[in-house]
A and B are shown apart, each in its own frame.
Chain A
């Protein structure tokens, strides 16, 4: 995915002004909550097939999308829908994040008691979902920090951290809400980068590193970076919201 400190160098106003408001707004208990992907759409079917059949060998390429499009009997022109493949990346991130919904129903997850154990389990799970695509992770990360993809991938990263923490029973109510999400997001980025180079059997080294990084009682190491980040986002957030009224 993307290196957070690279973000400072890119126009912070554009990224951060949308960051906080773009987080998921209000989760309903009794009303339907819309999922971010619609598995009945043509777009979903094409991208899903491309991902499952062709991406492991061809990467996140137009070629993979094209093969899937033809196989499903659609006209080649439909590929214009996918916005030079950036929709494909976004689809990948959303789909893998939604996969966590299945894992929180698993027997293994239900036996976990502490919030830390749950966070570790979900981070490991999400990392392992990258396994079939691991030789393309670098390509993926490289493209995600392209400017046109940056807002989406940044927001997806925060959604992932938010999902992981919510499913793990996080109930933080104050400033810690932000520090925890930032901690999970930045560690995840680091772990994913590590994983792309990991040649160990079953990514054992990556999984070990998850345990190490999320060790019980580990402090937020990035506090200073985080404060700097907040100072920037806060100013631009106030500006953007004040002008909206």
Chain B
């Protein structure tokens, strides 16, 4: 790789065309870097990635089913919200599919509780939507707050704990440990960042749609936040 190409920060996008290409490519396949040789991940790093993929897959499955539950109810009671919910739901489906691919490709065991996540999430979406449209939005606020924070926690670890993997430039044999990171790690970070931003958009959307006027807002959001945290703890492990 030429020095100029190297000096360009990794995530710069030059045009809409390159963005489109980026989209056409399967984002779960790391862009090859044949010019570098990457050493083993440590057991801790592997265990971390294993947990990340399992819990994110389960989380996106849950999100998917929450929106399915909301859509099921709100498309009948509040038809003006149908398209809005559908848009967020579509994004969740994309998130979930992405983690499904990563889980199969990286040989990660999915959470054994998937049947429970599905029922629970659909129920949560449907029940809050039955209470009121505001309650449904409050549920979205709670869920997206927890997921957004959770993604940020993961990004922090990916940024700080993956800089010590032995890396060498194949031709020159130059040691690049810490200065060149595998796309496997970098692009996983990109995926999580993109998804986090979309979750925060969902959060904003929910607030714009009067989540805070749900009665009692604090009770709904706090209970759901706690539930989500317990689910994350469990899905990382089981």
List B contacts of A237 (CB < 8 A): 112, 237-238
Interface residues of B in 169-205 (CB under 8 A from A): 182-184
In the complex, B69 has a CB within 8 A of chain A: no
Number of chain A residues whose Cβ lies closer than 8 Å to a Cβ of chain B? 29
> Given A20-B109, A25-B47, is A31 in contact with B57 using a C-beta cutoff of 8 Å?
no
Docked-complex contact B109 and A177, CB < 8 angstroms? yes
Q: Which of B46, B112, B238 contacts A26 (CB 8 A)?
A: B46
> Given A34-B40, A238-B238, is A28 in contact with B106 using a C-beta cutoff of 8 Å?
yes
In the complex, B41 has a CB within 8 A of chain A: yes
List A contacts of B47 (CB < 8 A): 25-26
Q: With A and B bound together, what is the CA distance between A148 and B107 in angstroms?
A: 28
Q: With A and B bound together, what is the CA distance between A33 and B40 in angstroms?
A: 6
In the complex, B79 has a CB within 8 A of chain A: no
List A contacts of B100 (CB < 8 A): 171, 173
Q: With A and B bound together, what is the CA distance between A230 and B182 in angstroms?
A: 37
Write the nearest CB–CB distance from B62 to chain A, whole angstroms: 12
- When each residue 141-173 of chain A gets 1 if its CB lies under 8 Å from chain B and 0 otherwise, what string results? 000000000000000000000100010001111
> Given A29-B30, A30-B183, A178-B112, is A241 in contact with B107 using a C-beta cutoff of 8 Å?
no
Q: With A and B bound together, what is the CA distance between A20 and B237 in angstroms?
A: 10
Q: With A and B bound together, what is the CA distance between A186 and B32 in angstroms?
A: 38
> Given A166-B107, A241-B238, is A30 in contact with B30 using a C-beta cutoff of 8 Å?
yes
Docked-complex contact A162 and B30, CB < 8 angstroms? no
List B contacts of A162 (CB < 8 A): 107
Nearest B residue to A169 by beta-carbon distance? B104
In the complex, A32 has a CB within 8 A of chain B: yes
Q: With A and B bound together, what is the CA distance between A25 and B106 in angstroms?
A: 9
Q: Which of B30, B32, B33, B40 contacts A32 (CB 8 A)?
A: B40
Q: With A and B bound together, what is the CA distance between A34 and B107 in angstroms?
A: 14
In the complex, B49 has a CB within 8 A of chain A: yes
Interface residues of B in 31-72 (CB under 8 A from A): 32-33, 38-41, 43, 46-47, 49-50, 53, 57, 61
List A contacts of B49 (CB < 8 A): 26
Q: Which of A26, A30, A34, A234 contacts B108 (CB 8 A)?
A: A26
Docked-complex contact A241 and B237, CB < 8 angstroms? yes
Number of A-B contacts (CB under 8 A): 87
Write the nearest CB–CB distance from A126 to chain B, whole angstroms: 18
Q: Which of A27, A177, A241 contacts B106 (CB 8 A)?
A: A27
Q: With A and B bound together, what is the CA distance between A34 and B40 in angstroms?
A: 7
List A contacts of B234 (CB < 8 A): 238
Docked-complex contact A31 and B182, CB < 8 angstroms? yes
Q: Which of B101, B103, B104, B184 contacts A30 (CB 8 A)?
A: B184
Write the nearest CB–CB distance from B236 to chain A, whole angstroms: 9
Docked-complex contact A29 and B105, CB < 8 angstroms? yes
Docked-complex contact B104 and A173, CB < 8 angstroms? yes
Q: With A and B bound together, what is the CA distance between A97 and B214 in angstroms?
A: 58
Write the nearest CB–CB distance from B64 to chain A, whole angstroms: 12
In the complex, B86 has a CB within 8 A of chain A: no
Q: With A and B bound together, what is the CA distance between A28 and B183 in angstroms?
A: 11
Q: Which of B104, B112, B184 contacts A175 (CB 8 A)?
A: B112
Docked-complex contact A175 and B106, CB < 8 angstroms? no
Docked-complex contact B109 and A32, CB < 8 angstroms? no
In the complex, B110 has a CB within 8 A of chain A: yes
In the complex, A110 has a CB within 8 A of chain B: no
Q: Which of A25, A30, A170 contacts B33 (CB 8 A)?
A: A30
Q: With A and B bound together, what is the CA distance between A27 and B107 in angstroms?
A: 6
List B contacts of A242 (CB < 8 A): 237
Q: With A and B bound together, what is the CA distance between A92 and B162 in angstroms?
A: 35
Q: With A and B bound together, what is the CA distance between A230 and B112 in angstroms?
A: 9
In the complex, A23 has a CB within 8 A of chain B: yes
In the complex, B129 has a CB within 8 A of chain A: no
Interface residues of A in 24-46 (CB under 8 A from B): 24-34
Residues of A within 8 A of B (CB): 20, 23-34, 162, 166, 170-175, 177-178, 230, 234, 237-238, 241-242
16 further contact pairs, Cβ within 8 A, besides A26-B49, A31-B184: A25-B108, A26-B46, A26-B53, A28-B41, A28-B184, A29-B184, A30-B30, A30-B33, A34-B40, A171-B100, A174-B114, A175-B114, A175-B115, A230-B112, A237-B112, A241-B238
Nearest first, the 4 A-B pairs at minimum CB distance are A27-B107, A241-B237, A174-B114, A26-B46
What would 12 A/B residue contacts be, using CB atoms closer than 8 Å? A20-B109, A20-B238, A26-B41, A26-B106, A28-B41, A30-B184, A31-B41, A34-B40, A172-B110, A175-B115, A234-B238, A237-B238
